[in-house]
Copies of this chain bind each other. A is one copy, B any other.
Amino acid sequence: MIQKLIEKIKKTNAPIVVGLDPMMKFIPEHIKQAAFHEQGETLEGAAEAIWQYNKAIVDATFDLIPAVKPQIAMYEQFGIPGLTAFKKTVDYCKEKDLVVIGDVKRGDIGSTSEAYAVGHIGKVQVGSQCYRGFDEDFVTVNPYLGSDGVKPFIAVGKEEKKGIFVLVKTSNPSSGELQDRQIDGRPLYEIVGEQVAAWGAEHMGEDYSYVGAVVGATYPEQGKILRKIMPKTYILVPGYGAQGGKGADLVHFFNEDGLGAIVNSSRGIIAAYQQEKYARFGEQNFADASRQAVVDMIEDIGGALAAR
C-alpha cells in the first residue's frame, strides 16, 4: 500500500491528502436541511449530512489527489450512526481508488493494540469466517505505550501490505509539553523518530517503509531534523493551511527525490467555500471551491519544491 500511495503521488503530482473532518459548522446549510428533512435532527440525520458532504467533496477532487484522511473523532462524536458514516466514507473513497488513511490515533497494550489493528487494517475471525471491520489502508498510531503498542499494528500491516503513521511531533501548540522534553540532550520526538525508523526497517516497501511518521507542518525546523533521522520514512504532515503551515515551510519534510512526505489539509479544502478567497463559488458550489483549493494547494507545494 505504501507503493500504491507513492505511485498515486507521482501520477497526480500531488503529495497531498484531503482531511475528511466534517465538522457540522463546515457543512453547507442545504445539505444539512436535506438530511434533517429526511432523517430528522437526529444522530442519523447528522450522519446523513456528513455522508452527503463527504461524497460531494470526494466526487469533486478524487482525480486530483492520491489519498484522503478521515478523522474518526468527527464521526465518533455522533455515536454509532456517525461511525457508520465513517465506514461508508472509507468504502466510497476506496471505490474511487483513493488511499485511505484512518486518522484514529489508537495505541494500547499489546493484545488491545492487536484488536485495533485487526479492526482497522486487518480482518477479524468469527467462527470459521473472516471480516474486515473498518478496512482503512493506513492508520495513525500513538506511541506513548512503547513497542508493545505499535508492533501489533506492524504485524497486521505486514500480513495485509498495509501501514501506519506513528505520532512523532504533532502539529498542535502544546505538543512540546512532552514531545520536546530533553533526554540526554535530545528532545523526546527525536527518540520516537529513531524508533519509527527502526520499526520501519522491519516492514519495508521498495524505497520507503510501511511505517510512517506524523510531524506537524507547524514545526518545520523539527521536520528538517526528523527527515534526516528517518530517511526511509514517509512523513504525514498535518497543520498546513488553517493551522498555520505554508508551502515554503514544507520543503524540508521532503527528500531530494521529491518524495517522502504527504501534506494534509482538512478545513482548508473541505470548508474552502467559507474562505474569502473562494467566496465567489457560493455555498451551493462548495465542492467546486474544494476542488479549486486542492489545485491551489498542489501549486503552492509544487512551487515551493521547485524553488528549493
* Contacting residues, chain B, for A295 (C-beta < 8 A): none
- Which single residue of chain B is at the shortest CB-CB distance from A87? B80
The answer, yes or no, to whether A119 is at the interface (CB within 8 Å) is yes
Interface string of A119-146 (1 = CB under 8 A from B): 1100011111101111000000011111
Q: Which residues of B contact A109 (CB under 8 A)?
A: 170-172, 238
Given contacts A87-B80, A119-B73, contact A173 B148 (CB under 8 A): yes
The contact string, 1 if C-beta is below 8 Å from chain B, for chain A 146-166, is 111100000000000000000
A118 to B115, CA, bound (A): 24
Q: Of A175-183, A245-253, A272-280, which stretch is located at the interface?
A: A175-183
Bound: A117/B183 CA distance, A: 32
In the complex, A109 Cα to B155 Cα: how many Å? 27
| Cβ–Cβ contact A74 & B42, under 8 A | no
Interfacial residues of chain A within 66-121, with CB under 8 A of chain B in the complex: 71, 73-74, 76-80, 82-84, 87, 105-113, 115-116, 118-120
Contact A172 B191 (CB under 8 A): no
Say yes or no: A178 contacts B144, CB within 8 Å.
yes
B43 A73 Cβ-Cβ under 8 A: no
Q: How large is the interface on A (under 10, 10 to 19, 20 to 34, 35 or more residues)?
A: 35 or more
- The reply to whether A41 and B129 contact each other, CB–CB distance below 8 Å, is yes
A42 to chain B minimum Cβ distance, whole angstroms, is 6
| Copies of this polypeptide in the complex | 2
Would B42 and A131 count as touching, CB distance under 8 A? yes
A 168-204 contacts with B by CB, 8 A: 170-179, 181-184, 188, 191-192, 195
A133 to B15, CA, bound (A): 35
Instruction: Decide yes or no: A119 and B183 within 8 Å by CB, A133-B43, A145-B174, A174-B146 being known contacts.
Output: no
The one of B41, B111, B124, B176 that contacts A146, using a Cβ cutoff of 8 Å: B176
A293 at the interface (CB under 8 A from B): no
Least distance between A166 CB and chain B CB atoms (Å): 10
List 15 interface pairs A-B (beta carbons < 8 Å), by A numbering. Answer: A24-B126, A41-B129, A46-B124, A73-B115, A74-B112, A76-B120, A79-B124, A79-B134, A80-B80, A83-B83, A107-B142, A145-B170, A146-B174, A146-B175, A188-B188
User: Which A positions have Cβ atoms within 8 angstroms of B?
Assistant: 21, 23-24, 32, 36, 41-43, 45-46, 71, 73-74, 76-80, 82-84, 87, 105-113, 115-116, 118-120, 124-129, 131-134, 142-149, 167, 170-179, 181-184, 188, 191-192, 195, 238
Contacts A77-B119, A147-B174, A177-B195 known; list 17 others, CB within 8 Å.
Answer: A21-B112, A36-B126, A71-B108, A74-B112, A76-B133, A78-B131, A79-B124, A80-B83, A80-B133, A82-B119, A83-B83, A105-B142, A107-B142, A144-B144, A149-B174, A178-B188, A178-B191
